[in-house]
Structure 1
Amino acid sequence: MVRGYFDKFPHSTVYFRRIRRFYIIYMVDWHELDPVITPEDREGMQLLINRELGREEEYNQRKSRKG
């Protein structure tokens, strides 16, 4: 499991789990001082963490993204 912290959500902790060869959000320890996390925010966070961990190509090729 990997923890992530993002500027837009400074009080919340985002937990990622590896699925096959990329990481997805498993759980968010959301804090009420932060804005609500939208599906677009989730996608952006997943892309960033996979990019940082060298898994961007695998993330972009996942089955849920294919036609």
Structure 2
Amino acid sequence: MKLINWSYAKRYNIKAVFDEFPHVVVLFRQIGGYYFIFSMKGLTKEHIPTRKDYVRMEYLLNKDLGLLEAYIERKYKN
């Protein structure tokens, strides 16, 4: 999976698009020094991301923003 692009959105959120789900806009919010997935727009019943996909998306965005260390050290890990 690759991060295609991201941009800042309203209220300090970030919108991102990933190559495996190009029709889905993923909205991230910041907590504690890293970003996590808050919501997704454009999901279809045929192509729903798994928990593994969510973690990969969060990892890629935080890596791109230079927040990977905070993301890895987060309190809740799955």
TM-score (norm 2): 0.78
Match of 2:18 in 1: 6
Percent of aligned positions that are identical: 34
Report the count of equivalent residues: 65
Q: Point out where structure 2 has 5 or more consecutive residues left out of the alignment.
A: 1-12
* Alignment pair present for 1:35 and 2:47: yes
> Which residue of 35, 51, 64 corresponds with 2:63?
51
Q: Mind listing any 5+ residue stretches in structure 1 that lack a counterpart? A: none
Superposition misfits of 4+ residues, deviation over 4 angstroms: none
Alpha-carbon displacement from aligned partner over 1:12-55 (angstroms, at most 9, x marks no partner):
10000000100000000033286111000000000000000000
Q: Kindly indicate whether the alpha-carbon contact (under 8 Å) linking 1:12 and 1:34 is maintained by their aligned counterparts in 2.
A: no
In 2, Cα distance between the equivalents of 1:35 and 1:59?
26
Pairwise CA RMSD of aligned residues? 1.4
